[in-house]
Amino acid sequence: MLEIRDVTMQFGGVRALDGVSLSIDGTGVYGLIGPNGAGKTTLLNILSGAYRATSGAIRFLGRDITRARAHRIAQAGIGRTYQNIRLFASNTVLENVTVAQNSLAAMGGLQSVFLPASARERALKEEARRLLDLMGLWGKRDYLSGALSYGEQRRLEIARACALRPRLLLLDEPAAGMNSTETDALWGRVEDLRRDGLCVLLVEHDMNLVMRRCDYVFVLNFGELIAAGSPAEIQGDKAVIEAYLGEEDD
């Protein structure tokens, strides 16, 4: 599904990513971890089109997206959430999702655009209901998004990202600021999306969440990929222990 080859990102004299290569096969949940400043969010920014890599190549579903603009990448099937929630606080929960649907339609990514107006509206509303149901938010569809709890706003952001019909969803610290109850509620919804066929790449500082929920984990340190493997393999990797999880006890 996703092939990243020798990607480097240079900001002036700072090399945020240094020859990173990794691949995602299109199933499951992948974790991306590393210390602060390791390059995790920089990589997500490149994958979503916010940045363009200084060098290297990226292919998604067989298509070269290395130099593609953000809207083309979204159209190709990569969705994104952010560390800082980006909702329309003065719009309703339902409107936040339909705005995203309209963006997809404008990019030519919805088959429903060929339907009569009334049928198109019904199709979009049914899809919005499905997404909000998955996130446990249909009952609050008429609430202003700014009135939702923090955990609910996180779930709404995911629903809105999924309105763009991604094949790969990039989640940037979705559990940040949540308590354990909110985190479990969020992740139960993400598991529903996974069972629906969505592939997830997760950046997260909550190591317990990563090790419990991810099928495969990539580790960055100082912009370099230092390890990749199952959660059990990562927890036993000496380079990871030294760089991120703490030194082993003597």
Cα–Cα distance, 196 to 138 (Å, whole number): 18
Specify which residues 193 forms β-bridges with: none
Same domain, 57 and 99: no
User: Residue 83 falls within a domain, yes or no?
Assistant: no
User: Residue 82 falls within a domain, yes or no?
Assistant: no
User: Residue 18 falls within a domain, yes or no?
Assistant: yes
User: Residue 129 falls within a domain, yes or no?
Assistant: yes
Cα–Cα distance, 79 to 210 (Å, whole number): 20
Structurally, the chain folds into a number of domains equal to 2
Cα–Cα distance, 99 to 93 (Å, whole number): 10
Q: Which of 144, 165, 186 is the last residue of a domain?
A: 165
Q: pLDDT per residue over 130-183, tens digit each?
A: 999 999 999 999 999 999 999 899 999 999 999 888 999 999 999 888 888 888
Query: What does pTM read for this prediction?
Result: 0.87
Cα–Cα distance, 193 to 134 (Å, whole number): 8
Residue 248 pLDDT: 46
Q: pLDDT per residue over 8-62, tens digit each?
A: 999 999 999 999 999 999 889 999 999 888 999 999 999 999 999 999 999 999 9
Range of the domain at 108: 88-165
44 and 24 Cβ atoms separated by less than 8 Å: no
Same domain, 156 and 185: no
Residue 249 pLDDT: 44
